[in-house]
Amino acid sequence: MASSHFKKKTSVKQEIPTASLPDIIFMLLIFFMVTTVLRETTVQVRTTLPQAEALTKIDQKRLVSYIYIGPKKLDGNRLGETGVQIDDALVEDMGSVRTIMYRKLIEQPKLIVSLKVDQTSEMGIVLDVQQELREAGALRINYSSKREIPS
Amino acid sequence: MGLLKKRKREGGEIPTASMADIAFLLLIFFLVTTTIDVDTGIGMVLPPKLEDDVEPPPIKERNVLKILVNETGQVLVEDQPSAIRLIRDEVKKHVLNEGVDPRYSEAPGKALVSIKTARQTPYDAYVGVLDEVWMAYFDMWDSEARRLGFPDYATYSAAVAEQGAENQIRDKIKAAISIAEPDKQ
């Protein structure tokens, strides 16, 4: 009785309904569209981040502005002297950090400045940048670092 | 066949068979460009710019725990040679002293940690010290939260934020870390 019922079912041609497939794909698409931040910059300085334990997460990526500090990448895998990069360009004159960050602060009053500093950099240049940030009034900073791998 | 022709005449349909393919292409584009990783780091708030005519408020010497990091990453705590791994306990002792030991702070609310570096100090040594100081505060907040009956500080602060109440732990143990300017050379 039961086996005959089962046989009957298998004889019917079965297909997976694909009508909802576009909807599923669109859902995924919208998720990735919302989470994507398109603005990507080419970093012209090497930033090997230090490791730390006392980390906080920056959830709102849109508030963050990055300053990269590290040895300049030169042709042929060589490293030059320490440079400071904001957005796409290297900053030549330390005083222009102030004006750039001040403009950013006016656009985004809740600005968080993430300092991506190479671990071999010297504190002098970091302190100079911080001094400029104080002058600009961008006081919320974040020393970008990676999670320490417990040994 | 005849049925299909009839339908077309009535009012054409947009073919939806390729819809999934188009959506797939877009999906793959956004998949590739998305960076999911969350930025992590040690958060700090810089002191506001000092006005020229305003003197910084006086701070008692005993309330400040001075940490000095030199060019080679060696550490002095209160002018005594120390090590990075000892800083955490030293900071806890300093903050939770409650006026007992005259070398340490008077009260947790008054305690201050000052980190001073040379201009040649490597950045990772500075971050290592700063990390230990922050971990000391995190540990103190955690034990304070446990005293109030919460599993840890994160749970406490979430509960407080939900109720809109004041964060008593942060009020009691302020994370007062100051980054001092290096000496002029």
The C-alpha atoms of residue A30 and residue B30 are separated, in whole angstroms, by 9
The predicted-structure confidence for A50-98, as pLDDT tens digits, reads as follows 888 888 888 777 888 888 988 888 887 788 888 888 888 888 888 888 8
Q: Which residues are within 8 A (CB) of A57 and not within 5 positions of it... i.e. 6 or more apart?
A: B38, B39, B40
Domain that holds residue A31: 2-35
Are A58 and A95 members of one domain? yes
Where do the domains of chain B lie?
61-180
Q: Which residues on chain B place their C-beta less than 8 Å from a C-beta of chain A?
A: 16, 19-20, 23-24, 26-27, 30-31, 33-36, 38-49, 117-124, 126-128, 130-131, 134-135, 137-138, 179, 181-182
CA distance to partner chain B, nearest, from residue A7 (Å)? 33
Q: Quick check: is A44 in a domain?
A: no
Q: Is the pLDDT of residue A139 over 70?
A: yes
The C-alpha atoms of residue B175 and residue B134 are separated, in whole angstroms, by 8
Are A100 and A75 members of one domain? yes
Are A61 and A106 members of one domain? yes
Q: Give the pair of three-digit tokens for residue A134.
A: 């104080």
Supply the DSSP symbol for B118: -
> How many separate domains does chain A show?
2
Q: Quick check: is A85 in a domain?
A: yes
Are A72 and A142 members of one domain? yes
Q: Quick check: is A41 in a domain?
A: no
pLDDT of residue A38: 66
The C-alpha atoms of residue A36 and residue B33 are separated, in whole angstroms, by 7
Q: Give the pair of three-digit tokens for residue A37.
A: 């931040």
Residue that is written with structure tokens 């300092």 in the block: A115
Q: Do B24 and A22 meet the contact criterion of CB atoms below 8 Å apart? A: no
Are A18 and A61 members of one domain? no
Q: Do A143 and B44 meet the contact criterion of CB atoms below 8 Å apart? A: yes
pLDDT of residue B111: 81
Q: Quick check: is A12 in a domain?
A: yes
Residue that is written with structure tokens 């910059």 in the block: A41
The predicted-structure confidence for A4-26, as pLDDT tens digits, reads as follows 555 555 567 778 777 788 788 88
Query: What share of chain B has pLDDT > 70, as a percent?
Result: 90
Given the cut 0.85, state whether the ipTM is greater than it.
Answer: no
Read off the CATH number of the domain in which A68 is found: 3.30.420.270
Among the partner-chain residues A18, A22, A55, the one whose CB lies closest to the CB of B42 is: A55
According to the 3-state scheme, what is the secondary structure of A20-65?
CHHHHHHHHHHHHHHHCCCCCCCCCECCCCCEECCCEEECCHHHEE
Are A17 and A78 members of one domain? no
* Cβ distance of A137 and B45 shorter than 8 Å: no
In order of A104, B3, B60, B93, the CA distances from A63 in angstroms are 10, 58, 37, 36
pLDDT of residue B164: 80
Q: Quick check: is A59 in a domain?
A: yes
Q: Which residue of A has its CA nearest to B28?
A: A29
Q: Which residue of A has its CA nearest to B181?
A: A127
Q: Is the pLDDT of residue A148 over 80?
A: no
Among the partner-chain residues B23, B119, B137, the one whose CB lies closest to the CB of A22 is: B23
The C-alpha atoms of residue B69 and residue A122 are separated, in whole angstroms, by 12
Beta bridge partners of A142: A114, B43
Q: Quick check: is A136 in a domain?
A: yes
3-state SS assignment for residue B71 = coil
Instruction: Report the sign of the C-alpha dihedral through residues A30, A34, A39, A42, in that order.
Output: negative
The predicted-structure confidence for B118-173, as pLDDT tens digits, reads as follows 888 888 888 888 888 888 888 888 888 888 888 888 888 888 888 887 877 877 87
Q: Which residues are within 8 A (CB) of B87 and not within 5 positions of it... i.e. 6 or more apart?
A: B67, B75, B77, B129, B132, B133, B136
Are A24 and A56 members of one domain? no
Q: Amino acid identity, residue A82?
A: T
Q: Quick check: is A76 in a domain?
A: yes
